[in-house]
């Protein structure tokens, strides 16, 4: 687990008229690419006719001009970018998933992780259901279609299905005539919607996707809210369950793009406030503050703003090296980092440097970055982290599967400092991190990965091994 990853990004577009909607969906997904790079997909609805394409890879590689042309025009579309956890990878898990049921057809995209997946899966299997994936989206579609058999509408079926779903999920669902957006009752993951100039609507995991397609942000969905977009406009329904709101704080620390606004709070400003609070908790004498690209930069700006120590450009990131770059030999990993990231000696040489980053997971990369600064001439390197130490696995969609991968579970802060070669090391406190997204109340966040205070019952295991026996698909070469 070289770094932290979030599950997915979801997108939906509704237009009152038929347009080249696949292209708009493409632009929106490109804006959500940071939320998942393993696979992606788009489904287009043209008067009840669904066209869908999914594939492994980045949006620009999978959704080629020819594919977008074949998806054609329509008045509704759903899109998805995915990062799969270890037991849910491969093209078979790409979304949207499209299902046919007794009352019609449905395309569904999900972002999140069900904590009662194993129980629901066993229940449906005992009733004769057959599954093709180990992903949550297929289970959620089963619950919705079961409820649809007796519900008066698809939205009623969705609201009823929410009573059976535990954990985190945000959904974009497309029926032949409606686009439906769903945010789970605890609001673990973000979801917002905006309005297009021509009267259409866009729903997305982050507001940056609305900007990409020219939509004006209206608001974020509330906890447990279901919004239906159809020929009559936007209609809100609310799941009646009463649970405590528990939004993932790491959306503000790392996952979301800094230009996004989540629940009315600028991600950039939240990260800058984290840097300010970090200075108050762990001040240090220094000459320059630098941030690790990309998510450490906003925190570094805030640290510099609060401390009065100048902010400087400490690293240049090679934007042409993607996530798929692999060093040819195990011993070349340091060279691989140098290709991706290079320290600015003109900024740090002969200076006491504060290095701000969003997290330390295993410590390997942090040690190499500290070494890059020392080789560039830094006389001291003081590491400051805009999150508390990771101590617990996440059950709600972040790829932190076990304590054995977390350096903070194996070493004390002082031992980690020596391990990464820093002159000092300071983490933001749990109390401090809960305040960075004000005016959202501190109690409205999930910080279980830091403090072990899980807002739901947790499963005995994150793994789905019983359902994940490997299937090898053999295809004739093109």
The answer to whether residue 355 scores a pLDDT higher than 70 is yes
In a domain, 14, yes or no: yes
Cis before residue 96, ω within 30 degrees of 0? yes
How sure is the predictor about 109, in pLDDT bands with cuts at 50, 70 and 90? very high
State whether 78 and 224 are in the same domain.
yes
In a domain, 256, yes or no: no
Q: Report the pLDDT averaged over residues 49-54.
A: 96
If asked whether residues 180 and 303 sit together in one domain, one would say no
How far apart are the C-alpha atoms of 371 and 422, rounded to whole Å? 9
Three-point CA angle 470, 471, 473, nearest 5°: 145
Predicted confidence band of residue 405 (pLDDT cuts 50, 70, 90): confident
**In this predicted model, what pLDDT tens digit does every residue of 264-310 receive, in sequence order?**
999 999 999 999 999 999 999 999 999 999 889 999 999 999 999 99
Check whether 411 has a pLDDT greater than 50: yes
How many domains is the chain built from?
A: 2
Nearest partner of 228 among 303, 289, 178, judged by Cα: 178
Q: Are residues 211 and 339 in the same domain?
A: no
Residues 159 and 65 in one domain: yes
Kindly state whether residues 193 and 141 are assigned to the same domain: yes
Catalytic residue set: 8
Same domain, 280 and 310: yes
411: domain CATH number is 3.40.50.2020
Residue 401's pLDDT is 65
Are 147 and 50 spatial neighbours (Cβ–Cβ below 8 Å)? Answer: no
Please report the pLDDT score of residue 459 as a whole number: 83
Q: Are residues 187 and 284 in the same domain?
A: no
Which domain covers residue 95, as residue numbers?
8-243
Is residue 2 in some structural domain?
no
Average pLDDT over residues 402-414: 89
**Same domain as 183, residue 48:** yes
Contacts for 116 with CB less than 8 Å, ≥ 6 apart: 165, 166, 167, 459
Q: What is the CATH number of the domain that holds 237?
A: 3.60.20.10
Residue-averaged pLDDT of the chain: 90
Residue 238 shares a structural domain with residue 271 = no
Q: What does the pLDDT look like over 150-205, one tens digit per residue? A: 999 999 999 999 999 999 999 999 999 999 999 999 999 999 999 999 899 999 99
Flag whether 328 is in a domain.
no
On whether residue 422 sits in a domain, the answer given is yes
Residue 460 lies in a domain: no
Are residues 230 and 268 part of one domain?
no
Are residues 356 and 218 part of one domain?
A: no
- State the pLDDT at residue 329: 45
Residue 53: which of 27, 24, 79 has the closest Cα?
79
Q: Flag whether 52 is in a domain.
A: yes
Same domain as 234, residue 172: yes
CA 136 distance to own-chain centroid:
15
pLDDT in the model for residue 324: 42
Q: Do 352 and 285 touch, CB atoms closer than 8 A?
A: yes
pLDDT band at 474 (very low <50, low <70, confident <90, very high): low
Does residue 194 or residue 240 have the better pLDDT? 194
Phi, psi of 340 (to 5 degrees): -80, -35
Instruction: Find tokens 């805030």 and name the residue.
Output: 302
Q: Answer whether residue 473 is part of any domain.
A: no
């Amino acid at each position: 687990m070289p770094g932290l990853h979030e599950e997915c990004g979801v997108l939906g577009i509704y237009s009152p008229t038929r347009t080249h909607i696949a292209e708009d969906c493409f632009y929106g997904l490109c804006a959500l690419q940071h939320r998942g790079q393993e696979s992606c997909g788009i489904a287009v609805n043209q008067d009840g006719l669904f066209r869908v394409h999914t594939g492994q890879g980045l949006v620009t590689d999978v959704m080629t001009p020819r594919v977008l042309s074949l998806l054609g025009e329509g008045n509704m579309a759903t899109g998805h970018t995915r990062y799969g956890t270890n037991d849910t990878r491969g093209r078979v898990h790409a979304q949207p998933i499209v299902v046919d049921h007794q009352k019609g057809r449905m395309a569904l995209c999900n972002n999140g992780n069900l904590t009662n997946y194993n129980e629901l899966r066993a229940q449906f299997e005992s009733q004769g259901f057959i599954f093709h994936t180990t992903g949550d989206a297929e289970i959620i579609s089963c619950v919705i279609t079961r409820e649809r058999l007796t519900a008066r509408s698809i939205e009623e079926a969705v609201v009823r299905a929410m009573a059976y779903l535990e954990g985190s999920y945000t959904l974009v669902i497309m029926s032949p005539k409606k686009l439906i957006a769903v945010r789970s009752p605890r609001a673990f993951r973000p979801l917002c919607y905006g309005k297009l100039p021509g009267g259409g609507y866009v729903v997305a995991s982050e507001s940056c996707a609305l900007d990409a397609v020219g939509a004006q942000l209206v608001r974020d969905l509330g906890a447990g809210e279901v919004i239906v977009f159809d020929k009559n406009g936007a209609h809100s329904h609310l799941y009646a369950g009463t649970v405590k709101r528990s939004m993932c704080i790491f959306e503000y620390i790392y996952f979301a793009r800094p230009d996004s606004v989540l629940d009315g709070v600028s991600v950039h400003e939240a990260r800058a406030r984290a840097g300010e609070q970090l200075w108050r908790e762990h001040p240090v004498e220094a000459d320059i503050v630098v941030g690790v690209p990309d998510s450490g930069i906003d925190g570094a700006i805030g640290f510099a703003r609060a401390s009065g120590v100048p902010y400087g450009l400490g690293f240049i990131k090679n934007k042409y090296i993607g996530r798929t770059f692999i060093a040819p030999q195990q011993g070349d990993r340091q060279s691989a980092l140098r290709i991706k990231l290079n320290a600015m000696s003109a900024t740090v040489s002969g200076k006491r440097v504060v290095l701000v980053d969003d997290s330390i997971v295993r410590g390997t990369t942090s040690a190499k970055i500290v070494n890059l600064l020392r080789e560039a001439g830094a006389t001291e390197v003081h590491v400051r982290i805009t999150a508390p130490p990771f101590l617990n696995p996440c059950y709600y969609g972040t790829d932190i599967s076990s304590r054995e991968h977390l350096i903070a579970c194996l070493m004390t802060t002082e031992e980690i400092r020596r391990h990464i070669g820093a002159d000092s090391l300071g983490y933001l406190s749990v109390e401090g991190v809960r305040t960075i997204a004000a005016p959202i109340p501190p109690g409205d966040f999930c910080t279980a990965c830091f403090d072990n205070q899980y807002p739901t019952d947790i499963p005995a295991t994150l793994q789905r091994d019983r359902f994940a026996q490997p299937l090898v698909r053999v295809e004739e070469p093109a």
